[in-house]
Every structure is written in C-alpha cells, then in structure tokens.
C-alpha cells in the first residue's frame, strides 16, 4: 500500500487558524454505514457507494449516539512543551545580563519541542530541535533570559530528533509552565496566544501527577463543552476516560513510500481499571464503543493486543504501557466501533487510521466533499463522525 494513496488537495484557506468563539459550534460531517453493519468486526470491504454522509453540526452529536453506547475519551492535558533556547558554542554564548548576546535573544534562537520524558532519568527528554542541523552532542542550551533552565544534548537522531538532559532544578515543571509556549502545530501560522492555553485543551483534561502531559491536543475532544457532556450523560450514555500522552507517534511525518515500512514512536498511556471494565462490559453486551479521537482508538486497540487472549476475545488490559499501534487499512478492529475525529493531514498516519475504520474510498470521498463544502480543517477545525 502506497503512502501517496492517502493524498488529497486542500486549499490553504481551509486550514483553521483560530478556534471558533463557541467550542460546540463546529460543523460535523456524519459518515453513515449500512444500517446495523456496525456489529460486524470489519466493514471496510463493503461496497462504499452504499455509504452516505450528511452535513450536520456538532451540537447534534449527543443525539447521534445510541442510548447504550460507551463513549471513551482521552483526558490527557497539553503542557507548554515548546521552549526557546540560545545555543552555546563558537557562534553563540550563554545568556547573562553581562553578555551582549542577551540584548537580542531572538538572534540565533533554537526551538525545542519536548516530546517525551525519559522514564529512567526524569531530567532527560526526547525532543525535536529546530533548526537542528548544527545542534550536536555536547551542545549547551540556555532557556529564557536570564536562563531559567539549562540543558545539554546527549544524543542525536535524524530529522531534528535529540535527547537532552536538563540541569536539575526543584521546580522544573513550574519553570516550564512559566516560560513555555503552547505547542500549536506548524500549520497554524501564528504565534501562540494566551487564549490558546484554554482553547487548545479539552474541558475534561486532567493534570498528571508529574505534570508531564501531551505535546498536542486530542483535537476531537476540543468540541465538547460541559453542557454537551451533561446532555450525553442525561441520555444515560456511559463515558469512560483513559489517558494517552500525545507525542511523536501522533504527528511524525511518513517518510517512506510504502505504508507498511513506517514505524511509530511509542507513547505512554494508562487505562484505569474502571475504564477497562466499562469497555469489556460493553463488548460482552454487544454494545458500541465510540472513541473520541484517534489517540483513543490507538490506545484501546493496542491494549486489546496485550497479554494472552483466547481466540476471538475482544478485551482491553487495564494499567499503564507504551503504545505504538500503527493502524491502516486492512487492520481488524477489536474494540472500537465508531469514531468522532477531526480532519487530518494528507498522507498522515491519522488519516490512514480513519480510513482503516471507515474504509479508504468512503473516507477519501467524504474528505473531498468536506473540501468542496468549505469545512474547516485540522486541530481548530470541524469534525467527522463515522458509524
């Protein structure tokens, strides 16, 4: 299967640069299957011409759910993971009030996106560095002016990937919160603003104990408001929360020609016991599991593959882990039956996942319709419900 099979044309003006004033005001493209076909283990091989889509509004989403559905959300919290640093070295000096270089901090600054805290050493982080071509092992990085954090590059990877070790400080995450920036994706062509700290965050986000959260939002959840969640609960629909810390595995570009040759980075997750029980009970009772976002899908499907299973058993394992499930057309879903998701970049692993669930031809056809109908795309854009 070729990566180029997942290409579509998108006018730049359809990329949402700002959130709507009303979270729940987004449009929703409803992609339908044949009646009752959700009970099949896989339906992507059906005749896609029999599928249909409808233009709706997200406020209709609670009414589209069935009263016995289980809705599963990713409650991860985005932290200000984008930091700006100044290099040490031959052409850059550490910042200090006595250094002339401090008068122009923007000159030669380095952007560092923290993507994953290393479990074996909490002072070490995997990150993306830009521009990274000349940032080598042993390079010192100084964050803020005067420097509130200092780090040394300890490993060098490809495509700007680095591992850095911060000098220990007691209030590390407090400093990151103070000097860090909201890690808006690169297709949002503006600097982050104070309002993004609220809007690039779901209303049900939970702060982790360590404060190391996600570097990108689970964007399908950005549409929910407390009122929407209350409407869903009022209908008797069960909601379960899991956590996946979004990292490189979510947005790393695909740099191979064949889909099967791509490998995902691992991302930390945890499924509480009560969430696992809710999912397993829904599967046992032949009820739908509706995932909010592709991160939820990857977590549930990866957890269903852990441990020893009896043939045909569709259950998830509770507890923490590191998921690297790469889902593309041909995958047989064990857990997820329906999906609420935003629109994703061409040739991305997220689009491939959506096509695996919805069928490549119906999903790509729906995307073409969304372009023609002027839907807003990507993180701050509109959404799609596949059932």
Domain boundaries, the chain: 3-77+213-386, 82-180
The pTM is what? 0.89
Q: Which CATH superfamily includes the segment(s) 82-180?
A: QueA-like (2.40.10.240)
Q: pLDDT: is 213 or 372 the higher one?
A: 372
Fold match flag (3-77+213-386 vs 82-180): no
Residue with the two structure tokens 């949402």: 16
pLDDT of amino acid 251 = 65
pLDDT of amino acid 93 = 45
pLDDT of amino acid 210 = 61
pLDDT of amino acid 180 = 95
Most confident stretch, 51-55, 158-162, 244-248, 356-360: 356-360
Quick check: 314 pLDDT over 90? no
pLDDT of amino acid 51 = 54
Predicted confidence (pLDDT) per residue in 251-283, tens digit: 678 899 999 999 888 899 999 999 999 999 999
Where residue 183 falls among pLDDT bands split at 50, 70, 90? Answer: very high
- The predicted model gives 286-292 an average pLDDT of 97
Where residue 209 falls among pLDDT bands split at 50, 70, 90? Answer: low
State the SS3 of the chain.
CEHHHHCCCCCHHHECCCCCCCHHHCEEEEEECCCCHHHCCCCCCCCHHHCEEEEEEHHHHHHHCCCCCEEEEECCCECCCEEEEEECCCCCCCCCCCCHHHHHCCCCEEEEEEEEECCCCCCEEEEEEECCCCCCCCCEEEECCCCCEEEEEEEECCCCEEEEEECCCCCHHHHHHHHCECCCCCCCCCCCCCCHHHHCCCCCCCCCCCCCCECCCCHHHHHCCHHHHHHHHHCCCEEEEEEECCCHHHHCCCCCCEHHHCCCCCEEEEECHHHHHHHHHHHHCCCCEEEECHHHHHHHHHHHCCCCCCCCCCCCCCEEEEECCCCCCCCCCCCCCEEEEECCCCCCHHHHHHHHHHCHHHHHHHHHHHHHCCCCECCCCCEEEEC
Q: Quote the tokens at residue 35.
A: 């009646």
Residue with the two structure tokens 């947005």: 251
pLDDT of amino acid 33 = 72
pLDDT of amino acid 35 = 52
Q: pLDDT: is 302 or 307 the higher one?
A: 302
For β-strands 149-156 and 140-143, DSSP reports them as antiparallel
Where residue 34 falls among pLDDT bands split at 50, 70, 90? Answer: low
- The predicted model gives 293-300 an average pLDDT of 96
Quick check: 143 pLDDT over 90? yes
Residue with the two structure tokens 């209303």: 203
pLDDT of amino acid 38 = 40
Mean pLDDT lowest among 79-88, 104-113, 148-157: 104-113
- The predicted model gives 103-123 an average pLDDT of 77
Q: Tell me the chain's radius of gyration from C-alpha atoms.
A: 22
Average pLDDT, the chain: 88
In this structure, the chain runs to a length of: 387
Give me the CATH topology for the region 3-77+213-386: QueA-like (3.40.1780)
CA distance 387 to 380: 22
Quick check: 127 pLDDT over 80? yes
């Amino acid at each position: 299967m070729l990566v180029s099979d997942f290409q579509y044309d998108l006018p730049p003006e359809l990329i949402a640069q700002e959130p709507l004033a009303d979270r729940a005001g987004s449009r929703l493209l409803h992609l339908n299957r044949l009646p009752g076909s959700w009970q099949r283990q896989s339906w992507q091989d059906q005749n896609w011409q029999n599928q249909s889509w409808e233009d709706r509004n997200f406020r209709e989403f609670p009414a589209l759910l069935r009263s016995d559905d289980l809705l599963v959300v990713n409650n991860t919290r985005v932290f200000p993971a984008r930091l700006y640093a100044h290099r040490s070295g031959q052409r850059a000096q550490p910042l200090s009030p006595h250094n002339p270089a401090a008068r122009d901090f923007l000159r030669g600054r380095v952007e560092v996106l923290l993507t994953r805290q290393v479990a074996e050493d909490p002072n070490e982080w995997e990150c993306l560095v830009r521009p990274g071509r000349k940032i080598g092992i042993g390079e010192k990085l100084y964050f803020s002016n005067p420097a509130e954090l200092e780090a040394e590059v300890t490993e060098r990877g490809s495509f700007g990937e680095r591992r850095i070790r911060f000098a220990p400080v007691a209030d590390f995450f407090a400093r990151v919160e103070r000097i860090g920036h909201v890690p808006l994706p690169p297709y949002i062509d503006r600097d982050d603003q104070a309002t993004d700290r609220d809007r690039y965050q779901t209303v049900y986000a939970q702060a982790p104990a360590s404060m190391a959260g996600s570097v990108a939002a689970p964007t399908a959840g950005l549409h929910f408001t407390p009122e929407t969640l209350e409407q869903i609960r009022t209908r008797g629909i069960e909601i379960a929360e899991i956590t996946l810390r979004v990292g490189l595995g979510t947005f790393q570009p695909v740099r191979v020609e064949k889909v099967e040759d791509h490998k995902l980075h691992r991302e930390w997750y945890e499924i509480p016991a009560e969430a696992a029980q809710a999912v397993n009970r829904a599967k046992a009772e032949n009820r739908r599991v509706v995932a909010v976002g592709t991160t939820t899908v990857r977590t549930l499907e990866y957890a269903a593959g852990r441990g020893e299973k009896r043939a045909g058993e569709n259950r998830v394992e509770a507890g923490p882990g590191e998921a690297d499930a790469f889902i593309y057309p041909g995958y047989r879903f064990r857990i997820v039956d329906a999906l609420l998701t935003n629109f994703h970049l061409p040739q991305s692993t997220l689009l491939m996942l959506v096509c695996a669930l919805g069928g490549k031809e119906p999903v790509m056809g729906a995307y073409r319709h969304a372009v023609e109908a002027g839907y807003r795309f990507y993180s701050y854009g509109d959404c799609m419900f596949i059932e």
